[in-house]
Amino acid sequence: MNNHQLRHVLHADAEGNLACLTWSSSQQLVLLESHGEVLMLDATYKVNNIRLPLFTLAVVDKNGHGQPVAHALLAREDEAHIQLFLRDVLAWNNRVENAVFCTDKDLAEINAVISVCPSAHLLLCRFHIMKAFTEELNKHPCSDGDAVLDVSMMHSYVYGCAYEMKLCIECMEIIFVIIMLLVITAQYDIKCPVRAPGQ
């Protein structure tokens, strides 16, 4: 790694086995310094022949493109190993401590960020929110039209402007009340009497 001008840190466990290998190039560290207010943290699988998860920390550059600024191969995807990676990056740039971290819903990642960077702010990735919502929706029986409407409203809520979000929230509140009324009437077998006009 020294031949490629990479800064790196190698962590081993008590038996000498790899726990975490963190690395970054000098160009990546410049990007981290200049665009490190918002950091995206995620892992990729099955990209190496040693079957270790590859964690990447990325920023969004001035052109709106995601750029990796640090990588780590971890022995395990638990909070302790992710903390090793984050501590290495924090040692290279202490501004990371106050950054906004965007992660998926992985609790090990979230807890590692909270532990290493307690002043940081956490956001969940919009893509992963939509993916989780769609997967959860698919677990419950509903008509295709309702599913499309629900996904469409959630998409507007996650990706929309403030006005669209307000409308979406109002629609979701109404739909929630209707669903609750349907559940209650079905649970207690309540019949709604039909009255003829004028009665």
pLDDT digits (tens, 9 = 90+) for 88-125: 999 999 999 999 999 987 899 999 999 999 999 998 87
21 and 58 assigned to the same domain: yes
Q: State CA 89 to chain mean position distance.
A: 19
62 and 111 assigned to the same domain: yes
**pLDDT grade for 142, boundaries at 50, 70 and 90:** low
Report how far residue 41's alpha carbon sits from residue 13's, in angstroms, rounded to the nearest whole number. 24
User: Is residue 66 in a domain?
Assistant: yes
Rounded to a whole number of angstroms, the distance between the first and last alpha carbons of the chain is 87
- Residue 152, domain extent: 127-187
Q: What is the pLDDT of residues 148-196, one digit of tens each?
A: 556 666 666 555 555 655 666 676 677 767 766 766 666 655 555 545 5
Say whether 11 sits in a helix, a strand or coil.
Answer: strand
| Domain final residue pick, 101, 124, 147 | 124
Positive or negative: CA dihedral 5, 82, 75, 40: negative
Report how far residue 103's alpha carbon sits from residue 43's, in angstroms, rounded to the nearest whole number. 10
| Domain final residue pick, 106, 124, 142 | 124
Q: Which helix (H) or strand (E) covers residue 65, if one does?
A: none
